[in-house]
Chain A
Amino acid sequence: MNLFKLFADLARVDPDVYGRFDSRRRVFRHLGTTGRAFAQAALPGLLSGLFQKAYGQAALSGEVVTVLNLALSLEYLELYYYRTGLSAGILGAADLAAFAAIRDDEQGHVAALRAILNTAAISDPGAAAFDFTAGGKVQPFANTTSFLAVAQALEDLGVRAYKGGLTTLLANKAVLRVALNIHSVEARHAAHVRTLRRGGIGVAGADGGGPNNSLPKSWVSLRENNGPLPALTTAIYGPGTTAASPAEDNLVQARVNVQVNSSSPGAGLALTAAAASEAFDEPLDTQQVRTIARQFVAAGNSQGLFV
Chain B
Amino acid sequence: MSKLFSRTGVFSPTPLASAAVKRRTFFRYAGATAAATTLALAGCSKDGATPGATDVGNGDIGVLNFAYALEQVEAAFYAKVLTGAYFTKLATTSAEYQIFSDLARHEQLHADFLRTVLSTSALKVLTINLDDQINFNERLTAPGAGKMGVLPAARMFEDLGVAAYNGAASFLTTADYLLLLGKIVSVEARHAALIRDLLVASGDTTLGIGFAGADVVDSKTRQELASTPASVLAKINTFLGADSQLTATKLV
Roughly how many angstroms separate A154 CA and B190 CA in the complex, as a whole number?
A: 15
The answer to whether B22 touches A263 (Cβ under 8 A) is yes
Q: Which residues of A contact B (CB under 8 A)?
A: 97-98, 101-102, 104-109, 111-112, 159, 163, 166-167, 170, 173, 176-178, 180-192, 195, 201-205, 217-219, 244, 253-256, 258-259, 261-267, 269, 271-272, 275-276, 278-283
The answer to whether A262 touches B109 (Cβ under 8 A) is yes
Q: Main SS of the interface on chain A?
A: helix
The answer to whether A191 touches B179 (Cβ under 8 A) is no
Q: Which residue of B lies closest to A169 (CB)?
A: B178
CB-CB < 8 A to A109: which residues of B?
222-223
Binary A-proximity of B175-186 (CB < 8 A = 1, otherwise 0): 110111011111
B107, CB-defined interface residue at 8 Å = yes
Min CB distance A204 to B, Å, is: 4
Roughly how many angstroms separate A111 CA and B220 CA in the complex, as a whole number?
A: 10
| A166-B179, A177-B166, A195-B194 known; A202-B95 Cβ under 8 A | yes
Roughly how many angstroms separate A156 CA and B223 CA in the complex, as a whole number?
A: 17
CB-CB < 8 A to B23: which residues of A?
261-263
CB-CB < 8 A to A159: which residues of B?
186
The answer to whether A204 touches B217 (Cβ under 8 A) is no
The answer to whether A163 touches B170 (Cβ under 8 A) is no
The answer to whether B186 touches A192 (Cβ under 8 A) is no
Min CB distance B7 to A, Å, is: 13
B197, CB-defined interface residue at 8 Å = yes
B83, CB-defined interface residue at 8 Å = yes
B128, CB-defined interface residue at 8 Å = no
Besides A176-B178, A254-B4, 14 other A-B contacts (C-beta < 8 A): A97-B209, A188-B190, A188-B216, A189-B193, A192-B194, A201-B95, A204-B97, A205-B98, A254-B11, A254-B13, A256-B113, A263-B24, A265-B107, A266-B82
CB-CB < 8 A to B55: which residues of A?
none
Interface-central residue, B106, B162, B222, by most chain A CB under 10 Å: B222
CB-CB < 8 A to A185: which residues of B?
189, 212, 217, 222-224
Roughly how many angstroms separate A173 CA and B95 CA in the complex, as a whole number?
A: 40
Min CB distance B172 to A, Å, is: 7
Roughly how many angstroms separate A179 CA and B191 CA in the complex, as a whole number?
A: 20
Residues of chain B in range 156-204 having any CB-CB distance to chain A below 8 Å = 162, 165-166, 169-170, 172-173, 175-176, 178-180, 182-194, 197-198, 201
CB-CB < 8 A to B93: which residues of A?
204
B101, CB-defined interface residue at 8 Å = yes
| A192-B193, A205-B98 known; A98-B186 Cβ under 8 A | no
B68, CB-defined interface residue at 8 Å = no
- Which one, B88, B113, B178, B223, contacts A181 given CB within 8 A? B223
Roughly how many angstroms separate A170 CA and B177 CA in the complex, as a whole number?
A: 11
The answer to whether B113 touches A253 (Cβ under 8 A) is yes
Residues of chain B in range 79-117 having any CB-CB distance to chain A below 8 Å = 79, 82-83, 87-88, 93-95, 97-99, 101-102, 104-110, 112-113, 116-117
- Which one, A101, A111, A178, A254, contacts B176 given CB within 8 A? A254
| A166-B179, A191-B193, A205-B98 known; A101-B212 Cβ under 8 A | yes
The answer to whether B222 touches A105 (Cβ under 8 A) is yes
The answer to whether B27 touches A265 (Cβ under 8 A) is yes
B250, CB-defined interface residue at 8 Å = no
The answer to whether A253 touches B185 (Cβ under 8 A) is no
CB-CB < 8 A to B4: which residues of A?
254
The answer to whether A112 touches B183 (Cβ under 8 A) is no
B28, CB-defined interface residue at 8 Å = yes
CB-CB < 8 A to A202: which residues of B?
95
Roughly how many angstroms separate A181 CA and B22 CA in the complex, as a whole number?
A: 35
The answer to whether A265 touches B211 (Cβ under 8 A) is no
Roughly how many angstroms separate A18 CA and B97 CA in the complex, as a whole number?
A: 60
The answer to whether B186 touches A281 (Cβ under 8 A) is yes
The answer to whether A189 touches B108 (Cβ under 8 A) is no
Q: Would you mind naming 16 contact pairs between A and B with Cβ atoms under 8 Å apart? A: A102-B212, A107-B222, A112-B223, A163-B183, A176-B169, A182-B222, A184-B186, A188-B189, A188-B217, A253-B183, A254-B4, A254-B11, A258-B109, A259-B109, A265-B79, A279-B110
Interface-central residue, B173, B182, B225, by most chain A CB under 10 Å: B182
Q: Which residue of A lies closest to B106 (CB)?
A: A279
The answer to whether B187 touches A279 (Cβ under 8 A) is yes
CB-CB < 8 A to B189: which residues of A?
184-185, 187-188, 191
CB-CB < 8 A to B87: which residues of A?
267
The answer to whether B175 touches A258 (Cβ under 8 A) is no
B239, CB-defined interface residue at 8 Å = no
CB-CB < 8 A to A106: which residues of B?
222
CB-CB < 8 A to A107: which residues of B?
222
The answer to whether A261 touches B116 (Cβ under 8 A) is yes
B57, CB-defined interface residue at 8 Å = no
Q: Which residue of A lies closest to B208 (CB)?
A: A101
Min CB distance A222 to B, Å, is: 13
